[in-house]
């Protein structure tokens, strides 16, 4: 039996998510045993043409070329899984979606006319159909291995979409919001990080994006802790600013 082939792709992103794969250490050998890594420029200069069984796509759609590239990749992949906040929600670079991208470019670059970018940064799933979205900024490597395992073995990935609170409580972490008065996005954020920040006495920054159920009712307890207007807008506008639930929530608190 030939082994399934794996390809890893990059769009607008920092590479942190694909590095999680190299970061798997012991598990990496198991991954290399289970799949034939045919395309992973970050790891090897040997790049073989498709089709591929599983494509992992990192990064957001940010340039006109991206629009073409993602279609080609989709056409060559049996399964396409997006990894990380950029690929699943547009990433931190989607902050430009709330502003004038041209103005940003002019402020940063001496010759903005050399740039060719889209006005927005958007998730992969807005362009092509995606078989699974793995959240996180960056993704959790154990979850990445689980996703590969699931697709190789033809089952659904066991990746929970409930709150970070669930991870806090399971790990015995004291609630930073209730016990310390620290504003925290944990109640509305998708689990996966293992409650990394609350375990280190910080509020959740929402790196894994919105959880499965509504976001709006967290505003009242956050406001009680002094998060009004702009503070609240910025709280929701970070790595997953363009995820629909966080986008709407941040807009709801904008001063007109």
Distance in Å, CB of 220 to other proteins, minimum: 6
Q: Give how many residues touch other proteins by CB under 8 A.
A: 44
Q: Are 44 and 69 in contact (CB under 8 A)?
A: no
Q: Which residue of 160, 194, 196, 231 would you call a contact of other proteins, by CB under 8 A?
A: 160
Would you count residue 186 as binding other proteins (CB under 8 A)? yes
- Locate all alpha helices (DSSP H) within 84-175, ordered by sequence: 84-89, 101-108, 141-152, 164-171
> What whole-number distance in Å separates Cα of residue 196 and Cα of residue 182?
15
Contacting other proteins (CB under 8 A), which of 84, 187, 192, 210?
187
CB 53, CB 6: distance < 8 Å: yes
Minimum distance, C-beta of residue 45 to other proteins, in the bound complex (Å): 25
CB of 125 to other proteins, least distance (A): 19
- Both structure tokens of 210: 């919105």
Neighbour order of strands in the sheet with 5-10 = 36-39, 5-10, 52-58, 77-83, 132-134
What is the nearest approach in angstroms of other proteins to the Cβ of residue 101?
Answer: 33
What residues make contact with other proteins under the rule CB under 8 A? 27, 30-31, 33-34, 145, 148-149, 152-153, 158, 160-163, 165-166, 169-175, 177-181, 184, 186-188, 201, 211-215, 217-218, 220-221, 224
């Amino acid at each position: 039996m030939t082994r399934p082939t794996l390809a890893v792709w990059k769009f607008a992103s920092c590479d942190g998510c694909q590095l999680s794969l190299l970061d798997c250490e012991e598990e990496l050998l198991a991954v290399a045993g289970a799949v034939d890594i045919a395309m992973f420029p970050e790891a090897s200069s040997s790049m073989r043409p498709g089709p591929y069984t599983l494509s992992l796509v990192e990064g957001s759609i940010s340039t006109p070329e991206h629009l073409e590239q993602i279609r080609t990749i989709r056409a060559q992949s049996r399964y396409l899984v997006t990894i990380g906040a950029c690929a699943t929600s547009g990433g931190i670079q989607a902050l430009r979606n709330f502003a004038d991208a041209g103005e940003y470019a002019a402020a940063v670059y001496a010759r903005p006319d050399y740039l060719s970018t889209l006005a927005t940064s958007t998730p992969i799933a807005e362009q092509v159909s995606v078989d699974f979205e793995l959240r996180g900024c960056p993704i959790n490597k154990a979850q990445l291995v689980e996703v590969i395992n699931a697709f190789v073995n033809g089952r659904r990935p066991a990746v929970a979409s409930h709150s970070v609170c669930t991870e806090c409580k399971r790990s015995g972490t004291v609630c930073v919001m209730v016990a310390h008065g620290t504003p925290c996005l944990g109640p509305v954020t998708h689990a996966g990080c293992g409650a990394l920040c609350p375990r280190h006495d910080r509020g959740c920054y929402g790196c894994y994006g919105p959880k499965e159920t509504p976001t709006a009712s967290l505003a009242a307890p956050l406001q009680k802790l002094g998060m009004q207007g702009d503070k609240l807008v910025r709280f929701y506008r970070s790595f997953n600013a363009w995820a629909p639930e966080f986008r709407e929530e941040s807009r709801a608190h904008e001063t007109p």
